[in-house]
Amino acid sequence: MQTMASETSMPAPAQRKRHRNEKDVISGRSHTANLWKIFGGILFAILFFGFMLLPCMDTLTSIFTVRDAAGNLDPLAVIRFFFAGNMPTFLWNSLKLAIVLVITVNVVGISIVLLTEYFDIKGAKILRLGYMTTLIYSGVALVTGYQFLYDQNGLMTKWLAELFPGMNKSWFTGFSAVIFTMTFACTSNHALFLRNAIRGIDYNTVEAARNMGAKPFRVLFKVVMPTLLPTLFSLTVMTFITGLCAMSAPTLLGYNSINPEIVRLAGSSTADEAFPQARAALLSVILALFTVILLTVLNHYERKGHYLSVSKTKAKLVKQKIQNPVANILAHIYAYALFIIYMTPVVMILVFAFQNWGNVRTKTIDFSNWTLSNFFGNQDYVYQNWKGRDVTRKGAISGVFGNESTVGGIRLSFVMSAIAAALACVIVVAVVNYIFKNKHRKRSRVAEACMLFPWLLPTILICYSYRIFFNSDIFAGVRLGLAGFGEVQGTTPSVNLYMDNVRFLIIMAYTVVKLPFALRMIKAAFYAIDEELEDAAKNLGASPLVTFLRVKLPIVLPSVLAVFALNFNALFTEYDMGATFAKPEGRTYAMVIQSMCAEEGRDNMNMNASGRRCAATVFIMIVSGLILYLVYGVGSRDLAERIARRDRRIAKVKAEKFPARATLGLALGLAGIASFVILSMQLVGMAAAGSLTVDPVALLFLLGCLGLGLSIAGTVFSGRGRRNPKGRAIGIIGMILSILGIVLSAAAILVTLMILMGNPGSVTETFLSVMGFLKA
């Protein structure tokens, strides 16, 4: 699913207008510039050799350095084992998955796009939103969501079994389950790009074909589809790679494809089976070979060029009505059936996130009983042991934010993905800047190829290579050096890069894996910088640094932020890579949630693990939805659009006869303060009564959030309304009140959070425990 995202950069960037092989005039800066170049070169070399080439080469060579029982080198042992044992099954399974996935994803993806963009289907906008839901929850969250509904105890399976009594209840395992899940998971991305392609069609060509007597479906197949072919081809290749490299779905749904096997072998020991690591390496290399071949084909094909629209006055596509009434009804039924398939998991996850553990366990919805315990709970579970005595399991029913492991996982994933996403952006911006400065030299092409290198390797291979490489003897020298350094420093000497720095290695793996995607996106953005802009800035007296910071960076910044957000989004919920590292220090958020579910109810611990997972997914959906909105909604507006929007707004405010916005702002500010007052009165009352239990406090937390939201909206509206001549005073008062509301609500949220995260004992105690937790 990650590889699909790489396609965002598909549109070929326009050729630059003018070739310039003029040398920049070098002035007195050359000395420091050279130092910077050397420094950057060294960093780049460390990155490329240390974290890309050498680890992967190490993995590759490990296949041929296997020793037999007598300790003799046996280079071909693994290969022989491959052909003798069951290893080809995994390869075949992966290929089967990839081939079937290509078919299903293309069928569903093309139909989705045609239904929402090309044909006139009622409610297309809502349908489109539904089809896009898998963009806000992916990977493990999505697979487990589907599993929750469709496995043998699943809600949907139960309902379906009632409808069709003869059906096989455990249909949702293995190949069919993986195909079902991945089809819907991959289609959103597929549809996203296909949609852009279909929107690029010049409607005049459709009209021309109709004018010459072609029937609608003939137009579709002869005029519309051929223009979509290049995009479809790219998407097909990417889907194939996604299927081949699938990790979370096969792992969770029990399908023996390559990647889960690599992870299993990597973690296995020589005591149990013959040279598991070397076999894992061989499988990784096979996967890498396939990826290389497919990407080469794709690259070659892309270089041949696309069918670009030749028309300068493009007409917007007008939706086609399906004339045949039967076909029309069938199309509508199909569209809404798909919509239901897409929406059911989302709705169910949302519902079950607010159901108590008993209901989640039995998969029944109790409309009269809602709870926040899956988000903030921290309750004990009391049960009778075999002796009939009551035993208390502390915190067995706890929410995502009320559970130390999950909060720890969130924090770890948050920090690691934020650092990695930022690092990838910084590295790529620096490299792309270099590439553009040395456009006509070979070294820029070399630098670009280095950055794209990780694309050739499956994610799992990179992580696996890190795991082996940094744990290997090659680093004996480095380790010794570090140990010596550590002794000098008087701290514990660092002796093993893998054992002691796994978080650092995960961050590096995250970064490296995201480099190719970041490069393609950010490079496309750099094409928007006109060379003359740089000249103009220089001519006006700006130094190269100032030119970069004030002229070039602002132009590419929206793209850079988008890349950051998308990478962060993907890494935050990432499971595969963390699982490959398989170290307790690197237990990411997805891994924590996953392992808890695997142990649901065992020893009467983790009683609400499934409900908690639903809550976690809701949390992810909110975060991803927000990020996608910011990137594609707000972030894509340029200066002209922002100014135009502001001007329109000001004009509207000034034209108000009654200062409506200012009044609204004032009202919102007051509402924000009111919610704070209610909240604090409740809290004080509960504290006085000694009944600070989790659920009501969680509600208060939400109230605090509401108050904060209202107050923020209040500042916005009163700030705008202030421009109306009559609304000036009201607006200013509204702003003051709203700002007060923000401060108070923020404080209230903090207090409730403290209570929620710690013990519902005294507030001071809670505060101390929270501080202790944050420090730990």
Partner 1 sequence: MIQLKDIVVKFGDFEALHNINVHVKEGEFFTFLGPSGCGKTTTLRTITGFIEPVSGSVSMQGRDITNVPIEKRNIGIVFQSYALFPTMTVRNNIAFGLKIQHCSRAEIKERVDRIARKVDLSDEQLDKAVSQLSGGQQQRVAIARALVTEPAVICMDEPLSNLDAKLRVNLRNELKKMQREFGITTIYVTHDQEEALTLSDRIAVFNNGYIEQIGTPNEVYNHSATEFVANFIGDINPIGRELAQIMELPEDRNHYIRLERIGVSSKSNEKKEDKEKKQKGVFKVPGVIEMQEYYGLYIKYYIQAAGQSLKVIEKNDGISIYEPGEKVTLRLNPADVMSY
Q: Would you tell me which residues interact with partner 1 (CB under 8 A)?
A: 21-25, 27-28, 530, 532-533, 535-543, 546, 550-551, 554-555, 557, 638-640, 642-644
Nearer to partner 1 by Cβ, of 394 and 645: the residue is 645
Nearer to partner 1 by Cβ, of 174 and 558: the residue is 558
Nearer to partner 1 by Cβ, of 274 and 542: the residue is 542
Closest CA to 194 of 227, 155, 165: 227
Nearer to partner 1 by Cβ, of 640 and 776: the residue is 640
Nearer to partner 1 by Cβ, of 20 and 726: the residue is 20
Closest CA to 464 of 622, 245, 696, 626: 245
Residue 65 CB, nearest approach to partner 1 (Å): 48
Nearer to partner 1 by Cβ, of 169 and 439: the residue is 439
Residue 323 CB, nearest approach to partner 1 (Å): 42
Nearer to partner 1 by Cβ, of 67 and 654: the residue is 654
Residue 455 CB, nearest approach to partner 1 (Å): 30
Residue 637 CB, nearest approach to partner 1 (Å): 11
Nearer to partner 1 by Cβ, of 340 and 546: the residue is 546
Residue 651 CB, nearest approach to partner 1 (Å): 12
User: Chain-centre distance of CA 715, in angstroms?
Assistant: 32
Paired with 382 in beta bridges are: 392
Residue 279 CB, nearest approach to partner 1 (Å): 53
Residue 26 CB, nearest approach to partner 1 (Å): 8
Residue pair 403/378 in contact (Cβ under 8 Å)? The answer is: yes
Residue pair 519/4 in contact (Cβ under 8 Å)? The answer is: no
Nearer to partner 1 by Cβ, of 126 and 557: the residue is 557
Residue pair 383/183 in contact (Cβ under 8 Å)? The answer is: no
What is the token pair recorded at 263? 């992870």
Residue 36 CB, nearest approach to partner 1 (Å): 18
Residue 467 CB, nearest approach to partner 1 (Å): 43
The secondary structure of the chain in percent helix, strand, coil, rounded to multiples of 5, reads 75, 5, 25
Residue 73 is classified by DSSP as B
Residues with Cβ < 8 Å from 603, sequence gap 6 or more? 393
Angle between helices 276-303 and 258-267 in degrees, nearest 10: 150
Three-class SS of residue 392? Answer: strand
Cβ neighbours, 10 Å, residue 265: 22
Nearer to partner 1 by Cβ, of 552 and 587: the residue is 552
Residue 437 CB, nearest approach to partner 1 (Å): 14
AA identity, residue 6: S
Nearer to partner 1 by Cβ, of 556 and 700: the residue is 556
Residues with Cβ < 8 Å from 265, sequence gap 6 or more? 276, 277, 279, 280, 283
Q: Where are the alpha helices (DSSP H) in 324-403?
A: 325-352, 357-362, 373-376
Angle between helices 225-244 and 87-113 in degrees, nearest 10: 150
Residue 534 CB, nearest approach to partner 1 (Å): 8
For the chain, the residue count is: 776
Nearer to partner 1 by Cβ, of 199 and 645: the residue is 645
Residue 727 CB, nearest approach to partner 1 (Å): 22
Residue pair 693/760 in contact (Cβ under 8 Å)? The answer is: yes
Helices first, then strands: H and E counts in the chain: 35, 2
As a whole number of angstroms, the distance between CA 245 and CA 89 comes to: 15
As a whole number of angstroms, the distance between CA 82 and CA 71 comes to: 20
As a whole number of angstroms, the distance between CA 95 and CA 141 comes to: 24
Residues with Cβ < 8 Å from 560, sequence gap 6 or more? 425, 429, 522, 525, 553
Beta pairing class for 390-398 and 378-384: antiparallel
Nearer to partner 1 by Cβ, of 479 and 552: the residue is 552
544 phi and psi angles, rounded to 5 deg: -55, -40
Residue 528 CB, nearest approach to partner 1 (Å): 8
Give the H or E element holding residue 735.
helix 728-757
